[in-house]
Amino acid sequence: MKKELLMASALVTTLGATSVAHAVTATMAGGMSVGVEFESPDSGTDTNNVKDLSNFNVSLSETTDGGTTISTSFEMLDEGALATDDDNALKLTFTDGSAVELLNAGNASSTHVVAVPGAGGEQGITGTSTNTAPGDVDFAAGSTVLGVEWHSAADFLADGLKMSASYSTDSGAANTTIATLTNSWGVGATYVTTAGDTTVTIGGGVADGEISNTGTAADSDKGGFHLGVSAVTGDLTIGVGYGDGDTFVSSAASAAGNGNNTTVDGSVLKAGVKYVTGDITLALGMTAGESKDGDFGSIGTTEDSSDSTSASVTYAVASGVSAVLGYTSVDRKNNGSTSTLDGTAWYVGATMSF
């Protein structure tokens, strides 16, 4: 028995030593936001809600003897309900600085969205609506998990230029009455330059994809473009972005055909400014989206719109700890009529990150 225990101990020790010796490099990051949101809809009752949000990200990487870095990551989010696991692509970064992402690669158009400053906080007007006005400039870019994305090295073709291209395809499963994206492609580029004391970033992308279903109107698509620019001068950041294109909303279909699958033709404009003074960050952002939606395969005649303005003040209390005061005003219209999801919201909370 003593010999068996010694052998078992040696085996565990050996396996443990082997796993440590061959372990990839792991880095962790995450944060926790806790606060109270106060909503005042134009139609309805004022409410207040506790916002308890957390995220935990693990990045894994290792470099081969040939100099190629193999990396991936995963993220766990807990937004007060079920925790979700966000699996990312397997990425190979080569010695020349170029890279390829395999599986879950996403769309290259989205990779080059320019970050537009926006307000902090977790405020907003909640509710159910059929409003399809987009809020993100890359709303027309999509992908499936069976995809690949290539990234150029820095200073590709010109100083300050980076480019990406992607393609994804479907799993080969049979079509259903619920519309799904079957394949996609995308290209994007980002150019960074300086003008005096100002750093200017220009980015844009184009994407397209095909949609399949077994309904009678299967000729809808998903695709469009976006373009953005930001300028950073010292502690001041200004940015603007625009996106235009087509997308779709899939829904349970009726036995008669394509049911509630919806085609959306939309556009969105985003703008924002951020200023840092000492431990205080002031931010202001606005989003104006509009769309026309209709039965799958056709465009509607009446317009949805969603306009929002947000502002926030963030104070750095200590290293990794920030206090946030945020405000948002929302004005929506659905098919030309005033929405019940208009109103204002406040948020007071704190964020701790590592």
109-148 pLDDT tens trace: 999 999 999 999 888 887 667 788 899 999 999 999 899 9
The SS3 assignment for 6 reads: helix
Mean pLDDT of the 175-202 span: 91
pLDDT band at 14 (very low <50, low <70, confident <90, very high): very low
Locate tokens 């200023």: which residue? 275
Q: Which two tokens stand for residue 192?
A: 């960074």
pLDDT at 318: 94
Locate tokens 């996609």: which residue? 184
Q: Is the pLDDT of residue 83 over 80?
A: no
pLDDT at 16: 43
253-305 pLDDT tens trace: 443 344 578 888 999 999 999 999 999 999 999 999 999 888 776 777 788 89
- Among residues 214, 218, 223, 179, which one has the least CA distance to residue 297? 218
Locate tokens 């009678």: which residue? 216
pLDDT at 322: 96
pLDDT at 303: 87
Q: Is the pLDDT of residue 217 over 70?
A: no
Mean pLDDT of the 311-318 span: 96
pLDDT at 218: 53
pLDDT band at 75 (very low <50, low <70, confident <90, very high): confident
Task: Please provide residue 128's backbone torsions phi and psi, each rounded to the nearest 5 degrees.
Answer: -105, 130
For 176-213, b/e burial (b = at least 16 CB within 10 A) is ebbbbbbbbbbbbbbbbeeeeeeeebbbbbbbbbbbbb
pLDDT band at 340 (very low <50, low <70, confident <90, very high): low
Torsion of CA 5, 10, 13, 14, to 10 degrees: -150
Residues in the chain: 354
> 336 near 309, Cβ under 8 Å?
no
The mean pLDDT of the chain is 85
pLDDT band at 17 (very low <50, low <70, confident <90, very high): very low
The partner residues of 225 in beta bridges, in order of sequence, read: 206, 244
Locate tokens 């696991």: which residue? 85
Cβ within 8 Å of residue 184, ≥6 positions away: 107, 141, 142, 143, 144, 147, 166, 167, 168, 207, 208, 209, 210, 222
Identify how many contiguous H helices and E strands the chain contains and give both numbers. 2, 18
The whole-angstrom separation of Cα 275 and Cα 215 is: 51
Mark out the alpha helices in the chain (DSSP H runs): 2-21, 108-111
Mean pLDDT of the 296-321 span: 89
Task: Please provide residue 7's backbone torsions phi and psi, each rounded to the nearest 5 degrees.
Answer: -65, -45
What is the value of pTM for the model shown?
0.83
In the chain the domains, ranked by start, together with CATH numbers, are 27-54+95-353 (2.40.160.10)
pLDDT at 221: 79
103-119 pLDDT tens trace: 889 999 999 999 999 99
Q: Specify the higher pLDDT residue, 205 or 76.
A: 205
Q: Which two tokens stand for residue 36?
A: 């109270």
